[in-house]
């Protein structure tokens, strides 16, 4: 009986029940396309091999130990030292100097690393402070790192790492802060290890309350954690983090993460990365209390994804059904009156008028879908877009692009990729479409595909002026996106 596969042991209804329970208890979401991933992770779970599926599910509800064992099996702990180097460069040159100046009166810094996995992130910060901010040795510096996986926390406290955790880290830094105990076993310097306190925390238990949150944090890391939550749940967590962030404090999220609640904070850009700061002396208006807006991962929440204008008002161009601009359709005839073979142009008014009418209808449909999405009704907006994509908007790349954003937010990554590819098929020079595909593939760990799309972006941008604004990303220029893409390419190649 114990040799039977999970696929045979778990009926679809039972798998759906388990996925719903995990989402409710710990925020983890397993969409339909991720169910196979859940089955694979369950394959080696002893409890499932020894019990009937019904008994297994009942025990999860009754036993915290059984639930914790399952959590330890299904959560992901991918991490390495100084992951996403632009963040650490921004910390060293911008964020920490600003925080030190801002908090010097109290002589202390309070830091929280949420979803710390096996500890590489908080230990990287501790090393950074040791290397570049010796003046903080006299300060009260608190680094609290939390995770829901108790196995990860045990490994983090142990402070022993393999070479895999050091990809991209210099030998000099490894030799300075680690002692090699075996061929592939490196122990962190005890002085650094003692600077981090590890605690168990379930981010899905909201609001964030308890002794840990009695005083606000000056710096919060919540990177590459919320991608495993539903979009609404992740946005709620960001709202809660904003509440426990001190005025003037900073929040860092993953490069591929972007949520409307981040709009409550001040968006800052440097070192080819975005991060967020709570404005001093201002009261946050919760995102749930105002109309939100769509956000695109990788380019910051105050870089909006606007509705493209309708047809061009210039004399020489008009908008095509695909949403782009092209010279007005013209035909030529001999100018007989001129007698010299000169040519004059005649515009076929019926064709242009028809195209303009279609574009106006598509613009109207896009605005309606966006308004619905901005009220948080993602699935309703998607339904409207699907109808638009099957009709008048079939050949408009903007329709498929907006569809991809909403599908991504709904946890439908495969559908989002298909929609983006369709947008690029209709507009091969659609830079933001290529960039978004790179971001999605990077988030999924498919670095080879991510690099391919980032390379496409570089090739498309190289002939454009650096100050040139990009389509469907008002506020984002060629120069800034080039800087971001170069950095992302370096990251995925590590």
Is residue 3 scored above 80 in pLDDT? no
Per-residue 3-state assignment (H helix, E strand, C coil) for the chain: CCCCCHHHHCCHHHHHHHHHHHHHHHCECCCHHHHHHHHHHHCCCHHHHHCCHHHHHHHHHHCHHHHHHHHHHHCCCCCCCCCCHHHHHHHHHHHHHHHHHHHCCCCEEEEEEECCCCCHHHHHHHHHHHHHCHHHHHCEEEEEEEECCHHHHHHHHHCEECHHHHCCCCHHHHHHHEEEEECCEEEECHHHHCCEEEEECCCCCCCCCCHHHCCCEEEEEECCCHHHECHHHHHHHHHHHHHCEEEEEEEEECCCCCCHHHHHCEEEEECCEEEEECCCCCCCCCHHHCCCCCCCCCCCCCCCCCCCCCCCCCCCEEECCCCCEEECCCEEEECCCCCCCCEEEECCHHHHHHHHHHHHHHHHHHHHHHHHHHCCCHHHHHHHHHHHHHCCCCCCHHHHHHHHHHHHHCCCHHHHHHHHHHHHHHCCCCHHHHHHHHHHHHHCCCHHHHHHHHHHHHHHHCCCCCCCECCCCCCCEHHHHHHHHHHHHHHHHC
Percent of the chain with pLDDT over 90: 65
Q: Which superfamily, per CATH, for 361-493? A: Tetratricopeptide repeat domain (1.25.40.10)
Q: For 335-394, where are the E strands, in sequence order?
A: 343-346
Is residue 359 scored above 60 in pLDDT? yes
pLDDT at res. 9: 63
Mean pLDDT for 60-67 is 92
pLDDT in tens, 107-161: 899 999 999 999 999 999 999 999 999 999 899 999 999 999 999 999 999 999 9
Is residue 487 scored above 80 in pLDDT? yes
For residue 207, whether the previous peptide bond is cis, meaning omega lies within 30 degrees of 0, is: yes
Q: Which two tokens stand for residue 294?
A: 């769509």
pLDDT at res. 151: 97
Query: CA nearest 42: which of 32, 28, 33, 53?
Result: 53
Q: Which two tokens stand for residue 31?
A: 């969409």
* Of 205-219, 240-254, 341-355, 396-410, minimum mean pLDDT range: 341-355
Is residue 306 scored above 60 in pLDDT? no
d(CA 190, CA 194): 6
- The larger pLDDT score, comparing residue 477 to residue 294, is at 477
Task: Determine contact, residues 305/406, Cβ cutoff 8 Å.
Answer: no
Q: Which superfamily, per CATH, for 85-289? A: Vaccinia Virus protein VP39 (3.40.50.150)
- The larger pLDDT score, comparing residue 16 to residue 4, is at 16
Is residue 288 scored above 70 in pLDDT? no
19-24's contacts with Cβ under 8 Å and 24+ in sequence apart are 21/57, 21/60, 21/61, 22/70, 22/74, 23/230, 23/233
pLDDT at res. 1: 40
d(CA 301, CA 293): 9
Task: Determine contact, residues 112/199, Cβ cutoff 8 Å.
Answer: no
Give the predicted TM-score (pTM) of the model.
0.85
Is residue 462 scored above 80 in pLDDT? yes
Name the band, by pLDDT with cuts 50, 70 and 90, for residue 283: low
Query: CA nearest 125: which of 149, 92, 148?
Result: 92
Domain boundaries, the chain: 6-74, 85-289, 361-493
């Amino acid at each position: 009986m114990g040799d039977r596969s999970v696929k045979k042991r778990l009926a679809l209804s039972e798998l759906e029940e388990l996925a719903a329970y995990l989402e409710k208890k710990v925020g983890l979401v397993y969409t339909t396309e991720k169910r196979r991933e859940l089955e694979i992770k369950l394959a080696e779970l002893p409890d499932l091999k020894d019990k009937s599926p019904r008994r297994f599910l009942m025990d999860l509800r009754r036993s915290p130990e059984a639930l914790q064992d399952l959590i330890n099996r299904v959560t992901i702990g991918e991490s390495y030292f100084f992951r996403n180097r632009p963040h650490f460069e921004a910390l060293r040159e911008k964020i920490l100097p600003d925080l030190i100046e801002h908090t010097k009166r109290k002589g202390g810094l309070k830091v929280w690393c949420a979803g710390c996995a096996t500890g590489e992130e908080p230990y990287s910060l501790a090393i950074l402070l040791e290397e570049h901010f010796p003046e903080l040795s006299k300060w009260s510096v608190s680094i609290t790192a939390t995770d829901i996986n108790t196995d990860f926390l045990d490994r983090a406290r142990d402070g022993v790492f393999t070479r895999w955790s050091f990809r991209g880290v210099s030998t000099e830094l490894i030799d300075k802060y680690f002692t090699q105990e075996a061929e592939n076993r490196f122990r962190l310097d005890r002085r650094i290890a003692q600077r981090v306190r590890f605690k168990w925390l379930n981010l899905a238990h909201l609001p964030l309350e308890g002794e840990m949150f009695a005083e606000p944090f000056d710096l919060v890391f919540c990177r590459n954690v919320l991608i495993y939550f539903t979009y609404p749940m992740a946005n709620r967590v960001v709202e809660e983090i904003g509440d426990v962030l001190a005025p003037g404090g900073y929040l860092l999220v993953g490069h591929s993460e972007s949520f409307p609640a981040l709009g409550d904070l001040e968006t800052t850009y440097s070192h080819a990365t975005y991060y967020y700061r709570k404005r001093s002396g201002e009261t946050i208006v919760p995102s749930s209390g105002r109309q939100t807006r769509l956000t695109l991962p990788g380019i910051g929440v105050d870089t909006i994804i606007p509705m493209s204008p309708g047809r061009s008002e210039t004399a020489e161009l008009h908008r095509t059904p695909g949403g782009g601009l092209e010279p007005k359709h013209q035909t030529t005839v001999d100018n007989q009156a001129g007698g010299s073979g000169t040519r004059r142009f005649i515009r076929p008014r019926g064709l242009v008028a028809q195209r303009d009418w279609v574009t106006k209808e598509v613009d109207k449909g896009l605005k309606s879908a966006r308004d619905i999405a901005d009220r948080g009704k993602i699935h309703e907006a998607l339904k409207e877009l699907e109808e638009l994509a099957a009709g008048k908007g079939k050949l408009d790349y903007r329709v498929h692009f907006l569809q991809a954003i909403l599908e991504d937010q709904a946890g439908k990554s495969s559908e989002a990729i298909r929609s983006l590819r369709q947008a690029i098929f209709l507009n091969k020079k659609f830079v933001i479409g290529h960039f978004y595909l790179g971001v999605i593939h990077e988030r999924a760990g498919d670095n080879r595909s991510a690099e391919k799309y980032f390379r496409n972006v570089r090739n498309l941008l190289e002939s454009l002026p650096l100050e040139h604004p990009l389509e469907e990303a008002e506020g984002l220029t060629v120069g800034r996106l080039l800087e971001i893409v170069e950095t992302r390419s370096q990251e995925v190649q590590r």
